[in-house]
Amino acid sequence: MSLPSRSELGAAGFGLLATFVVAVVWIRGPVTPDSTPPPPASASTTAPLEAPPEASAEQPVTPRPLLSSGDPARIRLTEVRRDLDRGKWLDALAGLEALCKEDPRAAEEAEVWNAIVELATRITLLPGAEPDRYFDLLLNHTGTVGPDILYHLWTTKGGSEAAKRSERLLAREDVRARGTPALRVAWELRAARCTDKPALFSRAGTDGDGRTLGQLVLLGEECGRKNANCCFPKDPTLNEAMAGIRARL
């Protein structure tokens, strides 16, 4: 019996390698990118507002591609992530300041957004000027994303100093004016008294996003424990508003 040739052995080896690769991919499953966070009243704070940027705040924020591995901003973001993991809050703040001052749209990146949010509840407990620096970063160096992050902190970090301060900032019309129409109507609907909410339904249908839709769904349910007496289950404008938002999502 003759021995197999080199070409025959090579073909067999390649076939085994291909079978192994297919098996590994099947076991691990597809790799999917991280999702972007949504990818939202008392009156004063010490953080001043700088002059509004020239770019229109009327355009919705569009998530940007992730930074490339060789991008200096990617390297800086890696350092910020390391500082957060080690509890070095001041170093993380300095790194985020550098990132966002170099490019105000950096906060549109999911990883930058997440780092800013993660830092909020830590940095606001520190004495000194660091909390003011943090909120100055949101107000003046993150474009229209800053008000979105304030809304996120207000609605998800309940009871924390970060949430309380975010609420005070959003109560300022000049702060909300820097956000998108979706941010503004979400805040106004949430802050309005029950009797004033129907006046916002039409605008909610035009400008609202998922943050507003969640509120409208609750308002559209039959009155119960969750919504007490603040409910409008048969309001045609509310139903039209929900349909309008869903059509855009």
* pLDDT, tens digit (0-9, with 9 covering 90-100), for 18-61: 443 333 333 334 433 333 444 433 333 444 555 444 333 333 44
| Torsion (CA) 140, 145, 148, 153 in degrees, nearest 10 | -70
| Torsion (CA) 52, 54, 57, 62 in degrees, nearest 10 | -120
Whether 182 and 212 have beta carbons less than 8 Å apart is answered as: yes
Q: Helical H runs in the chain? A: 6-28, 72-85, 89-102, 110-123, 130-140, 145-156, 161-170, 173-176, 181-191, 201-207, 210-219, 236-248
The predicted structure's pLDDT at residue 158: 87
244/224 Cα distance (integer angstroms): 25
Whether 60 and 182 have beta carbons less than 8 Å apart is answered as: yes
Report which of 90, 157, 154 is spatially closest to residue 128, judged by C-alpha positions: 90
- Encoding tokens for residue 98? 């550098």
Q: pLDDT of the chain along its 249 residues, tens only? A: 444 444 444 444 444 444 433 333 333 344 333 334 444 333 334 445 554 443 333 334 444 555 555 577 888 899 999 999 999 999 999 999 999 998 878 898 899 999 999 999 999 999 889 999 999 999 999 988 999 999 999 999 988 999 999 999 999 999 999 999 999 999 999 999 999 999 999 999 999 999 999 999 999 999 888 777 899 998 999 999 999 999 998
Q: Evaluate the CA torsion angle 83, 47, 162, 184 in order and state its sign.
A: negative
Instruction: Supply the DSSP string of 6-33, one letter for each residue.
Output: HHHHHHHHHHHHHHHHHHHHHHH----P
Q: Is the pTM of this model over 0.85?
A: no
The predicted structure's pLDDT at residue 201: 97
